[in-house]
Amino acid sequence: MHTKPHLFDKATLGHRGRQVRAELKAEVAAFKAEHPAFRPKLVAVQVGARSDSSVYIRQKSKACQEIGIEFEHLQLDDTIQQSELDAQLDRINNDPSVHGIIVQLPVPDHLSTKHIVHSILPEKDVDGFHAENIGHLSKRATEPFFHSCTPLGCIELLKRYKIDVAGKNAVVVGRSDIVGSPMAMMLTNLDATVTLCHSKSADIEQKVRDADIVVVAIGVPELVKASWIKPGAVVIDVGMNARDDPSKKAGYRWVGDVEAAAAERASFITPVPGGVGPMTVAMLLSNVVVGAKRQFAAASRIAIVPNPLKLREPVPSDIAIASEQKPKPIAQLANELNLATAEFEPYGKHAAKVTLDVLQRLQGAGDGRYVVVTGISPTPLGEGKSTVTVGLSQALYAHLRKPAFACIRQPSQGPTFGIKGGAAGGGYAQVTPMTTMNLHLTGDIHAITAANNLVAAAVDARRFHEATQTDAQLFSRLCPRKAGKCTLAKPLLRRLQRLGIATTEPDALSEAEISRLVRLDIDPERIMWRRVLDTNDRFLREITIGEAATERGMARKTGFDISVASEIMAVLALTTSLSDMRERLGRMVVAFSRSGEPITCDDIGVTGALTVLMKDALSPTLMQTLEGSPVFVHAGPFANIAHGNSSIVADRIALKLVGTPPGEPATPESAGYVVTEAGFGADIGFEKFVNIKCRASGLVPDAAVIVATVRALKMHGGGPDVVPGRPLADAYTKENLELLERGFANLRRHIENVQKVGIPAIVAINAFATDSPAELDLVRRLARAAGAFDAIPTQLWAKGGAGATELAEAVVRCCNAPRSTSPQDRFRFLYDADLPIKQKIETIAKEFYRAGSVSYSDEAEKKIAQFTENGWDKMPICMAKTQYSFSADPALKCAPEGFDLPIRDIRASLGAGFIYPLCGAMQTLPGLPTRPCFYDIDVDPETGDIVGLF
């Protein structure tokens, strides 16, 4: 005989709900204590201002506040259109700080509830309404991101009252996607035998009579009669219906979908109201916490998903290797990096721009380990610095399973079609697709070319118009009247400020002030800005422009540089934000007036247009290595005539992506690695990395890898000239320890220079098949004796990351080695930027190059005096010199000392923020050789594949 039922009474249920909330509050507090950056957040979207909806929103807000969940109420006008609501939901979906989204139902009739529900990302659908979440309930092998809150609350009640479900007959009355259908699936997953009934089901009464557990959510008042309930059954009544009742103050009372008298037969029954509701809200909050913890765990560490190599012998061509290895889709790579959809923009299948919004999202995160790759003074063939950079990141990522990023420069098409070829690495250590990287990529260099040449056109056009117009005519055209009113454009307002003219009202300007404002009076002999193109073309080094009849009398001599030598490229590499880039572009000096005043891009009014052209280029391009590790390809300033490093923003984003959550220390187990490359030898690219790039970025490297080859060391030891296109002499292909040991002096000096600025040095010996074991062992022993942390032979070209695992292990040991001081305390610049120009030049020349003296041409002396007078002497120095020697003479090999360093000219890049002295003759636009690389480059007309690129 059935005993008196035990009700899920309001008091008990309220206690259970409070208990769940208290547990959640403790859980959130404990997780926050361990992970200070943890901030669970729920956004509730309300369309319109229904009073009942507003009450529910306030209840959820209060509950969130109690538990420690951030709550945002987004209230929208009830006239909002579907597309506008979609845009709002898209914004919230892509906000990484949001972990749960609910849309308060119902919504106005002109909006589609179904569309809205499925517009919320499944991983943020904390109501559990999305079809993907509901669908996963039907599969035992998968789990939804979230369970629907009401069914989950019902299951939680059963668990907390210790009601066993397994093996019981359960009937669910109602098949809605919100309650009935997911409830049936959840009970099935708990091993109940479930019957799902609905309004069209035959003989519902009998099915209910046979049930041990009855869940009713059909929305029909008291559909299920008390007599239907099996004695001792468990009844969960989800229904809540208003029934007219004049005896009540409100004129109605709440009834469920089950007759209240069923309480006399059931062992457990939920009351109406106050039954399932409190637990439903508790489960919503639980879902938010679950989602926040899941997202936090995912965002705390990038997913490491290597792309295994299929090594072949002999090693095929670079393009053949790249064609055989299928890259991951770029969206997959972005997902592995925990990038939000709004944080990257695909450019085709295998490249994407990554926005600087990532830095805002991760601003409190710790940085990964920062490793710079540099090299010895190279041969004209190059020593594989890019290959080591790429291969080291492959080894860290795919073989040591460390979060790792490579940051490299974008190749110029000049060398790609000229003599050097591309710069994607080589062999089995490449960035892929190498054809994409070596050609147009995402158009950054084209943007630089367009921006640079817009400046050049603006300078010459301004000269032309000033020569043919009076001050009044210039003023009327630069400040046109609209509706009788003259308004100064922003560039003119800024120029007034620079000129010290107080008024900003055009009609209040005197004739003298108007003349100063509109007439730049450019001296054609002192125009510093040249045009650029991304092609090696020796015949454009010196040209005459303005020869057309329409520009009679305006002809002048000028020339072209290669695009990557443009100051705009250096600005891109050194900028830290969009506003910083705009400021830098505006202050670039393009010419001097006849009176000696510097004229900037802002003076000619082109700053805004340059920023527009360069806006997309500011975002680094995400690619991958052959083994699937992420790579940022961004900026490509020449290393001998500019500072030769990839961008600051790429390094910063990469360091955050592989770093640690805010407030959590980096440990040897948790630390990720960013491997960035500095162009040419350590005397050039690395010196500028330290004194220019690190000074601008504030970043401090943990270690430096110096790439050396037996071949280059033999050359420095007195070996024959190494000439591209010619076979190597026997000295380079046969063992010669004496020659090698003599040439080691070059590597020794680079090691000393790296240590001089407080960075530990690791030598990566890029081994070739012709290197003997004795030669590799000699370099290793000498490097360690010279103070290197370690020296490791590598075989990256032939084996990819597997050929650099020992190097990667050495890098990890070096970065995590216990030391008495931090990297920030050990690191030091070579000079103080506030020193006089000559003192800074001579510090570099004597301490890094080991010059005995520095001599200056008359032109250089004149420029130094002028720059000092203009206040430009407080910037760092960017030495423009040959990469083949510590001196300005490329023929002076090994480690010369006591030589004179001639400074033939000196120029200022105010936008980039450095002064660059020219040591000896420097070409800023290469020429094509007798047999350029383009001889071998073609397209297979049948497959469309590119061939011959390397």
Q: Which amino acids are annotated catalytic?
A: 60
Asked if residue 137 lies in contact with residue 186, where contact means CB atoms within 8 angstroms, the answer is yes
Which of 655, 656, 649, 645 has the alpha carbon at shortest distance from 617?
649
Per DSSP, the residues of 870-894 read: HT-TTS-B--B--SS-SSS-TT--S
* DSSP-derived pairing of the beta strands 900-909 and 853-856: parallel
Q: CA Rg, the chain, in Å? A: 35
Residue 799 neighbours by CB under 8 Å, 6+ apart: 311, 428
Distance CA 202, CA 188 (A): 21
Which of 483, 474, 575 has the alpha carbon at shortest distance from 517?
474
* DSSP-derived pairing of the beta strands 673-677 and 213-216: unpaired
With helix as H, strand as E and coil as C, how does 63-124 read?
HHHHHCCEEEEEEECCCCCHHHHHHHHHHHHCCCCCCEEEECCCCCCCCCHHHHHCCCCHHH
Distance CA 96, CA 38 (A): 12
Q: SS3 of 761, please?
A: strand
Asked if residue 235 lies in contact with residue 270, where contact means CB atoms within 8 angstroms, the answer is yes
Asked if residue 897 lies in contact with residue 749, where contact means CB atoms within 8 angstroms, the answer is no
> CA neighbours within 13 Å on the CB side: how many for 831?
24
User: E strands along 528-615, which residues?
Assistant: 531-533, 543-545, 556-558, 560-562, 589-593, 598-600
Other C-beta atoms within 10 Å of 701: how many? Answer: 26
Determine the angle formed by the axes of helices 10-34 and 149-160, rounding to 10 degrees: 100
Size of the chain, expressed as the number of residues it contains = 950
Other C-beta atoms within 10 Å of 797: how many? Answer: 24
Distance CA 515, CA 520 (A): 9
Q: Which residues pair with 877 in a beta bridge?
A: 915
Distance CA 332, CA 63 (A): 37
Asked if residue 367 lies in contact with residue 659, where contact means CB atoms within 8 angstroms, the answer is yes
| Tokens, residue 891 | 């023929």
Residue 479 neighbours by CB under 8 Å, 6+ apart: 486, 487, 488, 489, 492, 506
